Amino acid sequence: MSILQKLVLASGSPRRIELLQQAGIEPDRVLPADVDETPQRAEHPRSLAKRLSKDKAEKALASLKSEEDYAPAFILAADTVVAVGRRILPKAETIDDAINCLGLLSGRSHRVYSGVCLITPGGKLRQRLVETRVRFKRLPREEIDAYVASGEWRGKAGGYAVQGLAGSFVVKLVGSYTNVVGLPLYESVALLSGEGFKAHKNWHLARP
């Protein structure tokens, strides 16, 4: 008799949900785990991404303790950090945030780090850290203003969404594209599959 597997995504990000769906995985539950994302003093962007993904997974686990149906679930969490050197860029919430981020990224390279954390039904914690290098073209102020007017930047790490209009800013990308969108698919699916989650069980439903 097969055991019914359940997957909880500890994020309310539409991008992460869509990426999992792209891989044929439908979360049984979406449980946003709000944590304080303020970097600690002198914290490296890599360390921040790993710490926040772990914090989110553990917070979701604590929330599910009292729910028998979801207590034995796989819990997947992720956090994405954009950085220029060791400088961590914010998740842009204001127009000034977006303008400052885009001005800093203009004509130069930056790195996108995603921490992915999986807690298994048996309580094991597994993590991966993924790094992608991205170079933007030089952005004239009129182009920055036009992008800011689109509103696409709001709530995005580094003030841009690579899967949207800002894809036209990218001169070069080295590493995982889905990492820059918000969830590195290869590493996420590998984590799940490595712990026994049947990540491919619905692929037959994707026939054209």
- Residues annotated as catalytic (active site), given as ranges: 79
Question: Distances in Å between the alpha carbon of 108 and those of 135, 136, 175, 207?
Answer: 6, 6, 17, 41
Nearest to 63 by CA among 94, 30, 89: 30
Q: At what angle do helices 95-105 and 141-150 cross, to 10 degrees?
A: 140
- Is 159 in contact with 98 (CB distance < 8 Å)? yes
Name residue 130's beta-bridge partners.
Answer: 114
